[in-house]
Amino acid sequence: MTNKIKVARVEKGLTQSQLAQRVKATRQTIGLIEKGKYNPSLNLCISIARELDKTLDDLFWEEL
């Protein structure tokens, strides 16, 4: 999960602060999500996926 969000964010040309502002979160929250140290709510996951033009599966599904 961690690298998928960061990669998608960078591909969109967004900083952590810009993404955070768009999804009504803090930059620190985005950083913790990217590091895998914070489990976001479903609503926040959906907001992040929409902003990054990805599906929830694209960002949060872990391959076994």
pTM across the whole model: 0.91
* pLDDT value of position 24: 98
State the Cα–Cα distance between residues 57 and 29, nearest whole angstrom: 20
- In the predicted model, residues of the chain with pLDDT beneath 50 are none
pLDDT of 2 = 59
How confident is the model at residue 62, as a pLDDT? 79
How many Å apart are CA 40 and CA 48, to the nearest integer?
A: 10
Which pLDDT score is estimated for 60?
Answer: 87
